[in-house]
Amino acid sequence: MSLQIHNLSVSLGGQELVHGVNLDVRDGERVGLIGPSGSGKSMITKALLALLPPGARTSGSIQLFGQELVGLGEEAMAFVRGSYIGTVFQNPGSSLNPVLTVAQQVALPLRLHYQLSRQDRDERVAAMLESVGLGADLARKYPSQLSGGQQQRVAIATALVTAPKLIIADEPTTALDSLTQRQILDLLRRLVDLSGASLLFVTHDFTVLSRVCQTSYVLEEGRIVEGGPTQSLLKDPQQSLTRQLVKAAHALTLQAGESEQVDQ
């Protein structure tokens, strides 16, 4: 098992925002966490990365490859983040460092966490850029000189270059047009599968999950209300929120004239 979240609760300012969440990601599995704005998706991913705001309290258990993360010290947690987890966030324009070139950006996690020779590092960066479909001509450019889709490709390359075992993608395509969104989702799915990593994909959009995730969990006001194979949730949603999210996804899909389905 890659990730086992058991009875996770998160409180902030004396208020409990996440209530007893259970969620599993098996090795090599792509799992979605879906819920409307304010349902607590970010609180769960931040708890997982130990990046909650000061004063937040976490209880329960988060096991990553068998290691308990709740209560782990900052130094050990920084090591876990750098070695085992890759993250891709919503807005690549702000998550990329504006003063680093594309090549420097992708090389940064290798510099921070691995002792590689300059040549090995450059080779790994070039191979990673190629695998996300960015040519050598873009390697010397800065994020501001790239399109949103190209920026997100750089972010994916940066997340995957250290070959992390778990990728956390938090609304990674929300800021992109629908064609670019599909390309980036397919790229992420392909690279995650190629690397053998597991994926936890956070979104409010079932259209996206149906393209990427085999299993999904539905979050409502800090609680998981439903979970299971994504296609089953789409075909036969049991909870009112799941039905609403599926309906919204069908409306979006019809709008875009697309039919989405993920390989199991």
- Radius of gyration of the chain, Cα coordinates, nearest whole angstrom: 18
**Contact between 213 and 34 (Cβ < 8 Å):** no
- In the list 29, 30, 35, 109, the residue contacting ligand ATP (rule: CB under 6 A) is 35
Asked if 41 is part of the footprint of ligand ATP (rule: CB under 6 A), the reply reads yes
The closest alpha carbon to 87, from 149, 158, 159, 27, belongs to 159
Residue range at the interface with ligand ATP (CB under 6 A); choices 22-30, 36-44, 66-74, 105-113: 36-44
- In the list 2, 25, 34, 39, the residue contacting ligand ATP (rule: CB under 6 A) is 39
Residue range at the interface with ligand ATP (CB under 6 A); choices 12-20, 60-68, 118-126, 134-142: 12-20
Angle made by CA atoms 181, 231, 88, in degrees to the nearest 5: 35
- In the list 53, 66, 135, 257, the residue contacting ligand ATP (rule: CB under 6 A) is 53
Asked if 12 is part of the footprint of ligand ATP (rule: CB under 6 A), the reply reads yes
**Contact between 110 and 121 (Cβ < 8 Å):** yes
Strand, helix or coil at 131? helix
Asked if 37 is part of the footprint of ligand ATP (rule: CB under 6 A), the reply reads yes
Asked if 43 is part of the footprint of ligand ATP (rule: CB under 6 A), the reply reads yes
Residue range at the interface with ligand ATP (CB under 6 A); choices 10-18, 119-127, 134-142, 152-160: 10-18
Site string for ligand ATP, 196-235 (x = CB under 6 A): --------x-------------------------------
Taking the chain, what is the end-to-end CA distance rounded to the nearest angstrom? 18
* Strands of the chain, DSSP E: 3-12, 15-25, 30-34, 57-64, 67-68, 85-88, 166-170, 198-203, 215-220, 223-229
Alpha helices in 196-239 (DSSP H): 206-212, 230-235
**Smallest distance, ligand ATP to C-beta of residue 241, A:** 12
Name the residue nearer to ligand ATP (CB basis): 102 or 200. 200
**Contact between 217 and 223 (Cβ < 8 Å):** no
Q: Residue numbers of the site for ligand ATP (CB under 6 A)? A: 12-13, 17, 35, 37-43, 53, 204
